[in-house]
Amino acid sequence: STWGENYGKSLYECFILRVANFLRVVISFDHTHPRFAVNCAANPAFFTHCHLVWSESLTKESMSAIATAELGDTLKDIANRDEVLGAVVALHRAAAATGAPPRKLFALIETYRSIFTTKKDSRGDQTTHLLKGLKKLGEAKELVDELSRKAVEQKKELAKKQSEADEALKNITKAMSKAAERKQEVEVLQAGLKDEDKVIE
């Protein structure tokens, strides 16, 4: 706006003028709603001071744009995002063929968002539960590995001690065997001495 058209007007009048010049409001009516005619009759300015665009159905491109705008954030991490949006549009178009108005597209989108969010949250809980389970399995594996390592070390130690015990047993057996041989030798010598003593007497 220029200075000239605002000259002599109050601040409030200038504000109203700028709102009238620049503000655009889009109102979407459902012509199948039972109160459609009553609401139009109660607000004749809709017809006298507004530009009307009458459309009983949305184009496929419009539905795709609405679905993308409404579900964009919800489906941002989904790999097959375009397929889901296409399915939502196809579902509404099938319903529109039987008389479903454009506002039903928003209801469909909201229903899909609600179901998707619920399932995603539920899956998130399951994922958290599974991750905790995997962590516990990892800890159990580490414990088993540690116990296995200790068991191998103890087995080696036990084998070493067994080998030492076997060696000690061999030495004891040898010593006892030598002692037995010496005892026999001593007995033989004693018997020989006794015989010699008898001969001397």
C-alpha dihedral sign at 154, 159, 161, 162 = positive
Sign of the dihedral defined by the CA atoms of residues 34, 39, 44, 47, in that order:
negative
Amino acid at 195: D
Instruction: Give tens-digit pLDDT for 90-105.
Output: 888 888 777 777 778 8
Residue 116 has pLDDT above 70, yes or no: yes
Structure tokens that stand for 151 in this block: 């068991």
One-letter identity of residue 189: L
pTM for the full model? 0.44
Each residue of 30-53: pLDDT tens digit? Answer: 777 888 889 888 988 888 888 877
Measure the CA–CA gap between 87 and 77, rounded to whole angstroms: 17
Model pLDDT for residues 120-131, shown as the tens digit of each residue: 777 767 777 777
Give the model confidence (pLDDT) of 129-182 as tens digits: 777 888 888 888 888 989 889 999 999 999 999 999 989 899 999 889 888 888
